[in-house]
Amino acid sequence: MHVFTDPVNLDAYLSGFLWILKLTGASALFSLVIGVLLAAARVSPIPVLRAFGAAWVNIFRNTPLTLIIFFCYFGLYTTLGLVLSDDLNLNNYWLGVLGLSVYTAAFVCEAIRSGINTVNAGQAEAARAIGLTFAQTLRIVILPQAGRAVIAPLGSVLIALCKNATIVGTIGVMESSNVMKDLINENGDAVIPIFLVFAGTFAAVLVPTGYFFGWLANRLAVKR
Amino acid sequence: MRIKRVAAIAAIAALSLGVTACGGGDEGGTGASGIVGKAQKDKKLVIGVKSDQPGLGLQTGSNYEGFDIEIGKIIAKGLGVDPANIEWKTTVSNNREPFIQQGTVDLVIATYTINDDRKKKVNFAGPYYIAGQDLLVKADSTIAGPEGLEGKKVCSVSGSTPAKKMQTDYPKVQLQQFDSYSKCVNALEGGQVDAVTTDDIILAGYAAQSQYAGKFKVVGKPFTSEPYGIGLKKEDKAGCEKVNEILKTAASDGSYKAAWDNTLGKSGTPAPTLDTSKLTNCG
């Protein structure tokens, strides 16, 4: 374990995972917001919105994430000149968050839509009968029930998102997988230990996350 | 008659086996595991090269070409391996030591700078060329050297010597890191970075590519000395010495100059002389 007793390597290791957490946190927030809006669009009575939601889901869910992240850098930034920050590292970070968010939002949307399907149609009919608009019905009656039904699947999406964040390394953010490559490059004799430490760190963070979402889902589920 | 002939062949075979065994013994037993032994036995070599460096190591389809490739062919020939039996394997700056240590490749000839850190893990023959870290900028750029880089965005390959040099000696530079220089050159063309830094010889190769003609210039003030070596296993001292011998021969018989003239020489730069007094002692 001499690799991680060197303070320089330890710092690199920690900052690598800090980048992962930052990428995951911001993307989780944005993808949740976008995902809910997309789900709303997909069940709305307006055909254009439905088509927009369906197109988003089908395009981003079926495009490899590597391509999306690459497009954020070489398409949006390099070619179209979209600058998100003057600081190079932050700019790459936000481009990464953008790519992760639009991609993950597609999965969040589908999870929530499946939750909406679990809500009894009578609930919506009753809501409309007492004069609520579509938006009100969704906000007050449907989504709170749908949301509780999809906590466990959303947990899976979050776990996938955390692991997917390593792909942002391809556009230069020095996240954990980039740090791992660097460490392996400098310590070719310790490939297995380095690999195990990085994989183990992901497991140490994500296994409890999975259990937490399972527990939350049990607590909050609407019992029918 | 027939039995006698078989016996004779068997005797010759046994004799030659004995001779090779002796040869191996003379080299301290490393011959069999080293590249010399492997070349003799398999008549094959796996050489790690770059695949995205025009003029040095460039892959087009399944074909590799460039100065490093030509050097690889010279060394294979010297080891008794037909160049057609070389298996070229693409390496990036990041995986060269692991590839050597794990035996994925027998040799690495991939713009591979000899330095003390790397010497702890691998052995180096050569140098066969001495380059220097320099900057590639747009043709109309005012950057005149590494001193003018403060606050500027500079691109290099993660894990490479030039990237490390930027981080340690020019900490005020904003460093963009990719896994290949071609992405850096792409970003330079789009204006997202102000300069690309690596060895002058690599940059010259990019500047000379037809799609970038006239767009870039190499600043021409190298600020490091990068002796390019041929990497092989740490314990393969005999192989390293053999490669140095082959390089010495190549310098005198004109094959080194021919390798240059057929590749980087096309940019108009005359062939350098291979200074055989600088060859490593294979420590």
Residue B26 lies in a domain: no
DSSP string computed for B39-50: HHHHS-EEEEE-
pLDDT confidence of residue B13: 53
Q: Indicate whether B142 and B117 sit together in one domain.
A: no
Which of B183, B198, B218 represents a domain boundary (last residue)? B218
Residue B111 lies in a domain: yes
| B158 and chain A in contact, CB less than 8 A | yes
Q: Indicate whether B198 and B64 sit together in one domain.
A: no
Residue B22 lies in a domain: no
Q: Indicate whether B244 and B122 sit together in one domain.
A: yes
Of B121, B153, B192, the CB nearest to A188: B121
pLDDT confidence of residue A152: 92
Residue B29 lies in a domain: no
| A80 and chain B in contact, CB less than 8 A | no
Token reading at B218: 């190499």
Is the CB of A178 less than 8 angstroms away from the CB of B176? no
Residue B6 lies in a domain: no
Kindly report the CATH number assigned to the domain that includes residue B97: 3.40.190.10
- Which residue on chain B is closest to A190 by alpha carbon? B98
Q: Indicate whether B106 and B160 sit together in one domain.
A: no
Contact of A179 with A15, CB cutoff 8 Å: yes
Residue B30 lies in a domain: no
Degrees, nearest 5: CA angle A214-A217-A219: 110
Strand order from edge to edge, sheet including B122-131 = B86-90, B45-49, B107-113, B226-233, B122-131
Nearest to A152 by CA among A61, A223, A218: A218
pLDDT confidence of residue A223: 67
pLDDT confidence of residue A89: 87
Q: Indicate whether B47 and B123 sit together in one domain.
A: yes
Which domains are seen in chain A, by residue range?
A: 2-219 (1.10.3720.10)
Q: How many inter-chain contacts (A to B, CB under 8 Å) are there?
A: 55
Which A positions 147-206 lie with beta carbon below 8 A of chain B? 170-172, 174, 178, 181-182, 184-186, 188-189, 191
d(CA B279, CA B247): 9
Which of B168, B197, B218 represents a domain boundary (last residue)? B218
pLDDT confidence of residue B19: 46
Number of domains in chain B: 2
Q: Indicate whether B153 and B106 sit together in one domain.
A: no
ipTM score for this prediction: 0.71
Q: Indicate whether B123 and B170 sit together in one domain.
A: no
Q: Which domain holds residue B168?
A: 133-218
In this prediction, residue A224 has a pLDDT band, given cuts at 50, 70 and 90, of: low
pLDDT confidence of residue B11: 54
| A133 and chain B in contact, CB less than 8 A | no
Q: Is the pLDDT of residue A1 over 70?
A: no
Residues from chain B that touch A89, judged by Cβ atoms under 8 A, are: 174
Residue B94 lies in a domain: yes
The mean pLDDT values, 10 residues at a time, for chain B of 283 residues are 57 50 41 80 94 88 92 95 94 88 94 89 93 91 88 87 87 88 88 91 81 84 91 94 94 92 76 88 84
pLDDT confidence of residue A183: 86
pLDDT confidence of residue B22: 44
Q: Indicate whether B235 and B123 sit together in one domain.
A: yes
Nearest to B57 by CA among B215, B272, B230, B276: B230
Q: Indicate whether B39 and B142 sit together in one domain.
A: no
pLDDT confidence of residue B23: 41
Of B101, B158, B186, the CB nearest to A189: B101
Which pLDDT tens digit goes with each residue over A80-139? 888 898 888 899 999 999 999 999 999 999 999 999 998 988 998 999 999 999 999 999
Q: Is the pLDDT of residue A181 over 70?
A: yes
| A87 and chain B in contact, CB less than 8 A | yes
Which residue would you say has higher pLDDT here, A170 or A96?
A: A96
Which of B218, B237, B257 represents a domain boundary (last residue)? B218
Mean pLDDT of A162-182: 90
User: For the CA atoms of chain A, what is the radius of gyration?
Assistant: 21
Residues from chain B that touch A171, judged by Cβ atoms under 8 A, are: 178
pLDDT confidence of residue A31: 97
Q: Indicate whether B149 and B214 sit together in one domain.
A: yes
Mean pLDDT of A4-20: 91
Highest-pLDDT range among A55-69, A70-84, A180-194: A55-69
| B148 and chain A in contact, CB less than 8 A | no
Q: Indicate whether B144 and B198 sit together in one domain.
A: yes
Q: Indicate whether B200 and B267 sit together in one domain.
A: no
